[in-house]
Amino acid sequence: MEVLWRAVSEAEPGPKWAGLFQGLWPAYHRWWLRKGEHARATYWESIKALKQYMPELVPLHEQLSDLAGGSDHAARFLSFYCPPPYLSGCSQGIWPGAKPVLVRNYDYDARAFDSILLHTAWQGRKVMGTSDGMWGLVDGMNDAGLAVSLTFGGRQIVGDGFGVPLILRYVLQTCETTAEAEKVLVRVPTHMSYNVTVVDKRRRYLTAYMAPDRPTEITHAAVATNHQSRVEWSAHARMTATVERERFLLQRLTLHVEPEEKFIGAFLKPPLYSTAFDRGFGTLFTAVYRPSKGEMELRWPKAVWPFHIDNFVEDMRVIHTPDVVRRKGA
C-alpha cells in the first residue's frame, strides 16, 4: 500500500492549514462522535480548561476554529479536551553520545494518522513535528533546541484532561529548556497515561510518566516504551512487547557508546520495529531529532527524509507499507 506523506510549512494559521483540516476533518469527526456528542466535553468546558491550563494557546485555538469553519464540534475537537481514548505502541530513546539525539518509533494505525510533518512559526516560535489532530504533535522540536516525543503509558484508565498531542504542542510553543517543560508536564492534566521524553540542546533530559488519576512522575529515564514504572495492563504489554523493547534499549545504553547511526538503525529492525500493521501497531515511521543542530529526519527501512527548522522544504513522499494498511478515511 502507498501512503502519501506531506511536509507542510505555514508561518501563521491560514489557507494551507484550512485545507489540511478540510481533508482530515470528516474522519476525525466520525471518530470524535463515535459514542455520541454528549460523551464529549461541551464547548464551555473545553474553553474553560484551555484558559486554565494552557492560556497561551487560546488565541491560536480561536484562529484555528475560525479557519475550520467556526462550528461547535470543530472548536470542541480542536481543544483536545477529554477526547475519545486512543492507544498506540511506540519506542523512544536518547542516544548516549555527547550530542543530544532523540530517536522514536511511532507504532499506530495508519487509518487514524495524519501523515503530515507540520512546520509553523505560530506566535513567533518555530516548531516542526509530526502532526496529530491537525495541530497536536506526537513528536517535535522548536527553534530553542527543545525536542519532545510521546509513547502510550500502558494503562486503561481515562479521566478529565487533554489529549497529550496538544500538551506536546504547548510545551514546544512555550518552553525552551527541559526544566521549563517539566513544570508544564507536572501541571497540565492528561486524559490517559502517556510517557513524554524531553531533551534540550544542552542534553538535559527527562521522561515524564503522565496519568489522569495520579500525579505526574518525573524520571531520568533515557528510554520509554509502553508501560510506566511497572506493567499495569498485561494483555497490552504482551501484545506490544513493551518489556522486551525496553530491555533491548536499556541494554544498548549500558554497553559502550555505539555510533549514532548504529543506534538509530536499531529502531528500523526488530524488536523495536513492528510489523503488526494488521493490528494497528505497525511502525509508521522513525523520527530522529538533533536539537542542538535544528535538524530532524523521518526514516523508514528504505527511505530517509531530512529537515531543518530554519530551512524547511515543503514536499510530498509516497511511502510503501504492507498491503493490510489503508489510508485514513478509506
- Classified as helix, coil or strand, 59 is helix
pLDDT tens track for 32-80 = 999 999 999 999 999 999 999 999 999 999 999 999 999 999 999 999 9
Cell of 189: 492534566
CA 129 to chain centre: 8
* Dist. CA 41–CA 37, nearest whole Å: 8
* Dist. CA 74–CA 43, nearest whole Å: 10
Residue 285 pLDDT level (bands cut at 50, 70, 90): very high
Closest C-alpha among 87, 88, 99 to residue 264: 99
What is the reported pTM? 0.95
Q: What is the predicted pLDDT for the residue at 324?
A: 43
Cell of 318: 509516497
For CA atoms 216, 282, 308, 13, the dihedral sign is negative
pLDDT tens track for 151-205 = 999 999 999 999 999 999 999 999 999 999 999 999 999 999 999 999 999 999 9
Residue 280 pLDDT level (bands cut at 50, 70, 90): confident
219 phi and psi angles, rounded to 5 deg: -125, 165
Longest dimension (CA), the chain: 55
CA 173 to chain centre: 14
Q: What is the rounded average pLDDT for all residues in the chain? A: 95
* Residue environment code for 222-238, b if the CB has 16+ CB neighbours within 10 A, otherwise e: bbbbbbbeebbbeebbe
Q: What is the predicted pLDDT for the residue at 296?
A: 98
* Dist. CA 298–CA 321, nearest whole Å: 15
Residue 322 pLDDT level (bands cut at 50, 70, 90): low
- Distances from the Cα of 201 to the Cα of 52, 141, 248, 269, angstroms: 29, 10, 26, 27
- Classified as helix, coil or strand, 151 is strand
Cell of 121: 512559526
pLDDT tens track for 130-151 = 999 999 999 999 999 999 999 9
CA terminus-to-terminus distance, the chain: 12
